[in-house]
Amino acid sequence: MSNGQTADYWALYWRNRDRLKSDDPHFQVGRTVGGVPIDAQNWEFHLGEIESALSLQPHDTLLDLCAGNGMISMPLSLKCKATTVVDISEALLQNIDVQEYPTIEVLVGDLRSIALPPQSFSKGLMYGALQYFNERETIGVFETIYNALMPRGEYLIGDIPDIDRLFQFYRKPEWVRVYFDSIKAGTPAVGHWFKQEVLMSLAHHVGFGSAKVIYQHPNLLNSHYRFDLLLTK
């Protein structure tokens, strides 16, 4: 289904500095339910789940794409040798304290056009961001990840909206109305929804040796409508 949003809708959305008026880092990246940011204990649990999916080792070099304000990359950088973070929002990236986390390299850039060093990262993640790329751009994102990873490198694409659970998210008739109205107006609430089989097929098409869907732990904020994908080069 095509929609009426402008080609750069999400880039403009994330470059808008209004979200930085909040001091709450989760609010800044939209990690909220009903407008309420996730609490610290629950977030620790989320971080543990992400870390164990990646099984980070001290020798690992980590690539965090669409890293936002570094809520994930800052703590993970302490578990590996070096971390490179990329985001389109310079304002969000400025929240990353590179004095306190000196192994982090910060790159401001649009993932749709950025050039990354080839075969340079043993691990990586892109959390809560695949939905900001359309079908065509997603192919480019997978290619960019593939090229940046070392042979046998592993990459977690986390928190992907699952098209087969669209109506578990929009589970009330009035929410379904809001959903279709927002698509029509070109101001979608979530972004693109993906089919698991399509992303697994894309991963193989791009060259990944394996692509595994991970169902999120039920305690994770979005587990009722999102899934993770672990790619191995």
Ligand X SMILES: C[S@@+](CC[C@H](N)C(=O)[O-])C[C@H]1O[C@@H](n2cnc3c(N)ncnc32)[C@H](O)[C@@H]1O
132 binds ligand X, rule: CB under 6 A: yes
188 binds ligand X, rule: CB under 6 A: no
Q: Which is nearer to ligand X, 11 or 214 (CB)?
A: 11
Consecutive H or E run containing 121: strand 121-127
Q: How far apart are CA 91 and CA 28, in angstroms?
A: 10
Shortest Cβ contact with ligand X: which residue?
68
Q: Binding residues for ligand X, how many (CB under 6 A)? A: 21
Q: Phi first, then psi: give them for residue 88, nearest 5 degrees.
A: -80, -20
Q: Which stretch binds ligand X (CB under 6 A): 6-14, 36-44, 115-123, 192-200?
A: 6-14
Judged by CB under 6 A, which of 62, 92, 156, 211 binds ligand X?
92
Instruction: Supply 211's token pair.
Output: 């692509």
Q: Where are the alpha helices (DSSP H) in 56-110?
A: 73-77, 90-93
- Interaction with ligand X in 59-78: which residues (CB under 6 A)? 66-68, 71-72
110 binds ligand X, rule: CB under 6 A: yes
| Per-residue burial over 152-182, b = 16 or more CB atoms within 10 Å of its CB, e = otherwise | ebbbbbbbbbbeebeeebbeeeeeeeebeee
Percent of the chain as helix, strand, coil, to the nearest 5? 40, 25, 40
Q: How many CA atoms lie within 13 A of 193 on its CB side?
A: 19
24 binds ligand X, rule: CB under 6 A: no
Instruction: Supply 48's token pair.
Output: 């543990």
Q: Which is nearer to ligand X, 176 or 187 (CB)?
A: 187
| C-alpha torsion 43→45→48→49, nearest 10 | -100
111 binds ligand X, rule: CB under 6 A: yes
Q: Which is nearer to ligand X, 45 or 197 (CB)?
A: 45
Cβ 57 to ligand X shortest distance, Å: 21
- Interaction with ligand X in 149-178: which residues (CB under 6 A)? none
79 binds ligand X, rule: CB under 6 A: no
Cβ 163 to ligand X shortest distance, Å: 19
- Summarize as ranges the residues that interact with ligand X (CB under 6 A): 10-11, 14, 29-30, 66-68, 71-72, 87-89, 92, 110-112, 127-129, 132
